Amino acid sequence: MQTSRSKPCPCPSFKLREVASMYFTMVAVFLVILVVALQGSAPRGSDFPYKVPLDPQGLLELSWNVSYPQQVVHFQLLLRDLRFGLLFGMSDRGEFENADLAVLWSDGHNSYFGDAWSDDKGQLHMDSQQDYQLLGARRAPEGLYLLFRRAFSTCDPKDYLIEDGTVHLIYGILEKPVHSLHAINISAIHRGLQRVQLLKPNITVPELPNDMKTMEIRAPNIVIPSQETTYWCYMTELPADFPKHHIIMYEPVVTAGNEALVHHMEVFQCAAEFDSFPHYNGPCDSKMKPDRLNYCRHVLAAWAMGAQAFYYPKEAGLAFGGPGSSRYLRLEIHYHNPLVFKGRHDSSGIRLYYTATLRRYDAGIMELGLVYTPVMAIPPGEEAFILTGYCTDKCTQLALPAAGIRIFASQLHTHLAGRKVVTVLSRDGKERQVVNADGHYSPHFQEIRMLKELVAVFPGDELITTCTYNTEDRSRATVGGFGILEEMCVNYVHYYPQTQLELCKSAVDPGYLHRYFNLVNRFNDEEVCTCPQVSVPQQFFSVPWNPFNRDVLKSLYGFAPISMHCNKSSAVRFPVGTGFTTKASHSSATGCLRNPSVTKTLSPAQTWCLKQYGTSPLWMLWPDSIRGCICIK
């Protein structure tokens, strides 16, 4: 399960692994004793700053800390109602197949702990390299504490590589004794999933001012609907004539007993161009929700389960209040209620810490990635389809100050098909730095994440955001847009000092997409209507998704000219030339980019072009007319 992205590490020889192959540590789970196994000592309970409930009932609670010098995560599991054992581990997307697991099990007389893995059929196997290292177990009034550790990277192909970004934690509860690890049937046990960011950045908390005040934006004692998923919206407003302040910190306020139900929360500020907004308190998808609430999209705070308090850098604060700032705020809470509890009241929300003593810089939020437009689409049945949005050098050259900006936090965002998101900084045509990356991204776990270090962006730099999508469960194309079954590719970066640039995104040039539809009509038996009155989504829905049409669309998105949106907060665009540009690696619109050093199997589209025109090696040829090809890859 360790991948090529693993950092080089000294791996033991296979002979050494065989000599020290496996161990079973007997744990006296029902006695008030501490058992220390193998190496290391158990950290104190106060040494675990991060905590999250694993199951909806709160019977399992995970705490952890991160040691970057040792490249190790220490785990503390609290089992409030231990029966005959527990499975805990990690997998790519929360599956119990091909998972990396620590297992505690009992045969009714003795209890055992071991490092295990599951194959693609879900069968458990003891790992020949024991990398979940048990540190101790102790009984307390609230339950059993189990302490163990795990290195980020273990050099074991059966182990999960712990990286920055989202980690899918899985758990299973054994309700009957089992005589061996192989006797555990994971399909027959109570099991579940929790998502966290394990590798929290090690950031020094800045000193807070003496005049700091707090404001709580909380749900007004609502009754959580008895359904699995609910997004709840609540409108509130700042006091009249509320002057400009800086938000310097915020933290969650979760109603006691609902820790396992409140999945994530966000506070949005409404658009300043409206004098008033209607009050509302109800489901966000209700037909009774006023349409004007859709204009409350400026993020002030965002929290997800497992996240701690969010601190702004000492140099900056997020401005709210005062002239040009809306008084109206929208709280949005995602409740995850898989056990369908009824009658549960909730007053959760977010506590803002703010000051009238303004810091040196106003912090800003900038949108990177793709424009919300149906011209960017993903064919159905794709395992890993890639779309990329650009904040180009022309835009940053015009919009950023000479001293540049400093990015300190980031919130990645897609809808349901998103699987990976990464933003990189490019300077002088070369990738310089990863701004934020999540190789196990989940649309069900979105939070503003502090970066481990500031990212400096200067005029002329490019910010490139790439999203990977999976549409294997869909039968028609997924287009870009605001709907939950449509798609987005966005990185909301938090930075200082604030500039006029609020949106720096791109999409493929619509004219080239029109040529694509014409091409599909020309070389396919099934007709795609390209009439002006037919919408882009309708045209995509009528495309027959054979290998040729898929390959050409991928090439179109990879190498066709792009339409650049370089927008001020007023939605007025910065003058970036004609409104579209081509990527640095492109050919011109009428030439061909040759790369004779690259050889690979020709796709159906490449084979067609080669037969038709006998062209020398090219990445990809796109038929543009009867007389020739435009090279777009």
- Is residue 413 part of the annotated active site? The answer reads yes
Q: Which two tokens stand for residue 372?
A: 């919300």
Q: Beta strands 167-173 and 85-91: pairing type? A: antiparallel
C-alpha torsion 368→372→376→380, nearest 10: 110
Q: Is 109 a catalytic residue?
A: no
Check residue 202 and give left, alpha or beta (phi > 0: left; psi -120 to 50: alpha).
beta
State the sign of the Cα–Cα–Cα–Cα dihedral 539, 543, 547, 548. negative
Q: In what order do the strands lie in the sheet with 133-140?
A: 50-53, 60-67, 72-79, 143-151, 133-140
Exposed, middle or buried by CB within 10 Å (0-12, 13-18, 19+), for 180?
A: exposed
Task: Select from 496, 422, 433 the least CA-distant residue to 466.
Answer: 422
> What are the E-state strand segments in 428-500?
430-438, 449-457, 462-469, 478-479, 490-496
Q: Annotated catalytic residue: which of 23, 50, 231, 295?
A: 231
Q: Which stretch of DSSP H or E encloses residue 78?
A: strand 72-79
Beta bridge partners of 119: none
On the 0-12 / 13-18 / 19+ scale of CB atoms within 10 A, 611 is exposed
Provide the β-strand partners of residue 115: 102
Name the active-site residue from 245, 263, 264, 413.
413
**Alpha-carbon gap, residue 66 to 43, rounded angstroms:** 12
Strand-by-strand arrangement of the 430-438 sheet = 385-391, 462-469, 418-427, 430-438
Of the candidates 611, 603, 612, the one whose C-alpha atom is nearest the C-alpha of residue 620 is 603
Active site (catalytic) residues: 231, 413
